[in-house]
Structure 1
Amino acid sequence: MCGIHAIISPSFCSLSEISPELHQNLVNRGPDYFGQVTRESSDGRWKLRFTSTVLALRGDRVTKQPLHDDSGSRGGNVLCWNGEGWRFMGEVIGEHENDGEVIYRGLKDARSVEEVMGVWKGVEGPFAFVFYCEALQRVFWGRDRLGRRSLMVRRIEGGGVVLGSIADGEGKWEEVEADGVYSLGLGDGVARRHDWVEEGENFVSAKFCPGGSVSSIGVFNKALPSFEGETPLTSASPSVRALKDQLVESLKLRVLNIPNPPSSGTGKTRVAVLFSGGLDCTVLARLCHDILEPHQEIDLLNVGFENPRVGARLKKEANGKEVDLYEACPDRITGRKSFAELKNVCPGRVFRFVAVNVPYSKLQAHRQQIISLIHPHNTVMDLSIACALYFAARGQGSVRSESPDPDSEPSTVSYTSPARVLLSGLGADELFGGYSRHAAAFQQDGYTGLVKELLRDVSRLAERNLGRDDRVMAHWGKEVRFPFLDERLVKWAIATPAWEKCDFEREEEKSGVEAAKRVLRLLAMELSMEGVAKEKKRAIQFGSRTAKMESGRDKGTTLLS
């Protein structure tokens, strides 16, 4: 995870210094290194300044950014890179290599827009970037096909632009769309968009493909079942085994070879899971047990809030008795139950349940900072979700210390997770039919309606608010990784027929688990996580109780005041 800021300004405008607040926010994202590089266009009409901060998680050393060379009278190429390139041109990037350097080597010799685009099309993994190509006198910027990293843009006087991982509080900022790569020609001042996929390539756009392309990754399978001699979806189904294989490969890239966090003397805890106790995150934690070395510990970050409105109701129902509002949060109850199941199924592995309790006063103290980070998003729902992710990523809470005496109460000690890599289960609902609207679509129009709803959801993956989420979690010098949003896993999932993912045609009694995300639930059963396999879906803002803090009448679409 890194912080990016770049300004491309006409020469008649001065390059103002980065404000102290923006400087600090960039350093929060990348505490290991801060660097700046300036350039001037070959005709002297443009001034350029590139800023990067680095959170070092790849390679065997801290790689200084921006990456650049100093050829030519006015300088050479510059790359600000914020991402994780797991594969480049189909090959896995080695554990001792830095992904940014590998990609930069591919860009240095580019002499055409097509060659630059060929490099970016060859990157698999989440990223955002700004690249100045000296030979073409053009600045390129963009986000990966699924928009997993933040990058925003605002226009300035004279046709220039400012780009940043986070906003600087000036002007009108917009999220950079994940629909291609953008560029600004320094010779003509014209901005362009370059599509991820052109007509005639392997995966053409929805305009040319009857099935519809999903984020330029693959073609969605719109087939409908015949049910003639068809095998029901069970634990033995090929799609269950394939999902496990896909998830394991995705997780290996994301949890192995993580450098030892600077704040951890032993290096035993390098990975943490954003842990509600639900199906998606618990399956990830369970598979991490199979992948990581036995001595590696895994933190489970479970957040709960003091919600005054809910607290008043609970205290009234308890007839004045003391109520632990944090332990009463739905996600805390589910989290402790799934934590117990993990410990039972994975003996010998240290799973650490970190209870992140957020008093209302602390939430209010951080509220303005969170609103600033989520900008330009500005609704009540944006804030509710962001609050939960912000404090969970911080990883500051408490853990229960088990007592050797079974009759004594466990003590609680303060704890801050040193893990700088966080895992999120986001994406599973869209890929495998986990939302209530998927069931409703099936009830209304059978598999025709379900397929239509699934296609709509996966087609909007790149429009999810992942940039917003990136900004609030990266603020703590943490990087969130999404195993379900690995390009190869997404490609497999959208090519798999709907009834092999969420078998709404058959009752729960025949498979033991409900139809929503049935393929993932059956995988959980195969992993001996029966309780988790039967867990219901719950939105994070309701599970952690960040929603409707003061009034039950607030709508999620209401703008923040």
Structure 2
Amino acid sequence: MCGILFRIGTGTVVHPICCGVHECSAQWESSDIEEIKNLINQDLSSTLELRPNDIKKIGNLKEIRELNEKLNRVKNTIGKSPDHSEQLKEEKSRLQSQIDDLSVDDAQDLMEDKLVLDDERDFDTLISSIAGRGPDYLQYLSYPLTDGYHIQQFSAILSLRQPFVKQPIHVRDIDIVIQFNGELYNKECIDSNDTKFITERVLSNINNGKSRHNSILQTISELEGEFAYVILDKSSNLVYFGRDFIGKRSLVYKLLKNEEGKISEFITSSIAIPTITGESEYIECKSEEINILNIKSGSIETVEISRPKPSPEVSLEVLGLKSGHKVDELINEFDVVFTRATKDRIDTIHPLHDTIDHASLGILFSGGLDCTVVAGAIGRIYNERKSTNGMKILVDLLTVGFENPRTQASAQDSPDRQLAKKSWFELAKKFNSDVIDFRLVEVDVGYEEWLRHRHRVKRLMYPCDTEMDLSIAIAFYFASRGEFGTKLSLDFESQTVVESNYTSRAKVLLSGLGADELFAGYSRHESAFDPLMPPQEGNEEEYRNTLMQCYMKLKSELTIDIKNIYKRNLGRDDRVISSWGKELRYPFLEEDVINFVMSKVPLDLKLEFQWETVTNRKGKTSTRIKPIRKWLLREYAEYLGLSWVKHELKRAIQFGAKSAKMEIGQNKTRGTDTLK
């Protein structure tokens, strides 16, 4: 993994100070672990101080809670006491005003969440944030280009594929410079360094007679994996930048021009900076596109990545006829594809600094269907190998819970924590052996810790900026950090062994993200069937036509979900998780898995339903639809021997971990509300 920062500017070059660690110069590098750690810690210490308003909230928490309880009683009384409604409404306003005075962030705090920076110092601030993404090696380069432009590049590397290769990479034979963030799973480079593979592929395409431009485009289009990139072709003054086909790694950019339409500044980076003026807003690079910046003209052209676009199967012959499908055969085929995707993501972990006696692998773990399937696939893979060269594979299942002052629930009481314990225990009993050991790592987040880190998370997740983004991002942020947790492991007699104050050292984390988008796991997928009425004698044709329309709507929803996942989830999650020097990998979002599920799995095996008769309190009966989301994935869980999780319902992480609406008085806050 690599943190990418690339800048084109004009005028006087201002070299980064980098928190005082390095003197200003046109080139510097560091592989000194302590030096890099000090730089990262300086950035953390400057962003994690409690602000005056945060301290006030903590001190007033008891009073705020008491006022909120009074407010709720008044609200409940208003409708029941019409004679005193005006008086009660005044009391309601008075109490709400008191709560706001004690708990609402003041203007200064909100101002500090956005940075007022001149363009030249943008680069400095980004460097200090990006350094945490690559704790193994840092390099800064600055050099002139034509027409008064100069280039500044910074790379922060977490090395997980050997041999180690420094970045940026200058391919002198053809005068291109490459920055690459991510992992490739092309068969030709599965056992080698992926950045070397890219340079060799570009050279090969050029040597085969293709133009430089087409050689670079073809190389990018042929890459398979989880990545973002910047390629500068110095001879043609073109910059190629973008993300993989799904958008699993973050890359943002901003482009400022002068009055003549020429570039005054261009930055593309793994992380963005929010600003007050809004004049230099960053844009997330789209997936499926290669961006090409022409430095001389200042224009950006986009080229679509050439990929087959699979489409979910929809046909009258299969809908509603589950018995007509060869379900077992389909599950076996899916197992082959999904297992291969998982193997690729766990077999390509070769850290520069060994982690003997520590977990080499972690899973973001709620205990639910998707992440448990990933864990089950990993457990089976290692146990089938019988041996791992004498080393036991340690896998940390990272589960997070929040102490929520609004609900007064503890982290241990959160739904995800309860389910995670159950799923971990079953996984450990089934798979723990001489070759693999699943351990549960319980990460509890108190209210003060949430206050201390939320401002940093807001900056990291930008340009995502809603309440829901914060509640999801901060859950992943603390889970991936994996610090100060309680580790649960099983001994030989299946007794739980507890270790306090445990920190997970796993550099690679796996996620079950993508399963909902592929297998129809959201409530909005059910809503596609709202128009469907129970079949009745004589309306068979109308019923089938409506059913077809419902599945066509579901098909459209799923296609949009995969197309937009880069913008809704992936960039945000990458920015917050990678800030800890951790890399996230997604077995469900491997291209072969996506292609298989979208082209081979019929829609009625994703969202299966039955009709059920229910009786209300008055004894009146009615027939309603009973949908089962992710039906085939649930059958696959049973195929893996994970029967306990087969019937678990979908629960969003912000509700399962209780990270949503952490502030008292947020009852009416919506997830789609923009952060103030």
Match of 2:269 in 1: 164
CA deviation string 1:82-134 (max 9, x = no partner): 011111xxx34142x21011102223547432221100000001111111112
Is 1:149 aligned with 2:249? yes
Match of 1:365 in 2: 452
Is 1:134 aligned with 2:238? no
For the structure 1 residues 227 and 376, does the alpha-carbon distance in structure 2 shift closer, same or farther, using more than 3 Å as the test?
Answer: closer
SS at match of 1:145: coil
- Please report how far the alpha carbon of residue 412 of structure 1 lies from its aligned counterpart in structure 2 after TM superposition: 4.0
1:186 pairs, out of 256, 271, 295, with: 295
Identity of aligned residues (%): 33
Is 1:335 aligned with 2:438? no
Worse-matched range after superposition: 547-556 or 258-267 = 258-267
1:36 pairs, out of 137, 140, 145, with: 140
For the structure 1 residues 307 and 227, does the alpha-carbon distance in structure 2 shift closer, same or farther, using more than 3 Å as the test?
Answer: same
Aligned 8 A contact 1:217 1:487 in 2 = no
Match of 1:56 in 2: 159
CA deviation string 1:415-461 (max 9, x = no partner): 11111000010100110111112222134353333333323323323
SS at match of 1:350: strand
CA deviation string 1:70-93 (max 9, x = no partner): 469xxx321011011111xxx341
Aligned 8 A contact 1:181 1:193 in 2 = yes
CA distance in 1, matches of 2:604, 2:291: 38
- Please report how far the alpha carbon of residue 305 of structure 1 lies from its aligned counterpart in structure 2 after TM superposition: 0.4
Aligned 8 A contact 2:520 2:607 in 1 = no
Aligned 8 A contact 2:8 2:150 in 1 = yes
Match of 1:356 in 2: 443
TM-score w.r.t. length of structure 2: 0.72
SS at match of 1:192: strand
SS at match of 2:608: coil
For the structure 1 residues 102 and 409, does the alpha-carbon distance in structure 2 shift closer, same or farther, using more than 3 Å as the test?
Answer: closer
Is 1:255 aligned with 2:346? yes
Match of 1:518 in 2: 631
1:164 maps to a residue whose letter is S
Show structure 1 runs of 5+ residues with no match: 198-215, 315-324
SS at match of 1:127: strand
1:344 maps to a residue whose letter is K
Worse-matched range after superposition: 164-173 or 526-535 = 164-173
Aligned 8 A contact 2:634 2:647 in 1 = yes
For the structure 1 residues 332 and 163, does the alpha-carbon distance in structure 2 shift closer, same or farther, using more than 3 Å as the test?
Answer: same
1:176 maps to a residue whose letter is C
CA distance in 1, matches of 2:414, 2:157: 36
Aligned 8 A contact 2:243 2:250 in 1 = yes
1:399 maps to a residue whose letter is K
CA distance in 2, matches of 1:374, 1:117: 29
Match of 2:478 in 1: 391
CA distance in 1, matches of 2:373, 2:645: 8
Q: CA RMSD in A?
A: 2.7
CA distance in 2, matches of 1:189, 1:228: 51
CA distance in 2, matches of 1:414, 1:246: 38
SS at match of 2:406: helix
Aligned 8 A contact 2:3 2:134 in 1 = yes
1:380 maps to a residue whose letter is E
1:553 maps to a residue whose letter is K
For the structure 1 residues 409 and 5, does the alpha-carbon distance in structure 2 shift closer, same or farther, using more than 3 Å as the test?
Answer: closer
Match of 2:544 in 1: none
Which is helix-richer, 1 or 2?
A: 2
Aligned 8 A contact 1:390 1:472 in 2 = yes
CA distance in 2, matches of 1:137, 1:492: 40
Aligned length: 516
Match of 2:309 in 1: 218
SS at match of 1:464: helix
1:299 pairs, out of 390, 396, 400, with: 396
SS at match of 2:228: strand
Worse-matched range after superposition: 148-157 or 532-541 = 148-157
- Please report how far the alpha carbon of residue 533 of structure 1 lies from its aligned counterpart in structure 2 after TM superposition: 0.8
Aligned 8 A contact 2:5 2:127 in 1 = no
SS at match of 1:444: coil
SS at match of 1:232: helix
CA deviation string 1:264-291 (max 9, x = no partner): 2335x21100000000000100110122
2:222 pairs, out of 117, 122, 130, with: 122
Is 1:80 aligned with 2:80? no
Aligned 8 A contact 2:440 2:489 in 1 = no
Aligned 8 A contact 1:379 1:557 in 2 = yes
1:142 maps to a residue whose letter is G
- Please report how far the alpha carbon of residue 547 of structure 1 lies from its aligned counterpart in structure 2 after TM superposition: 0.4
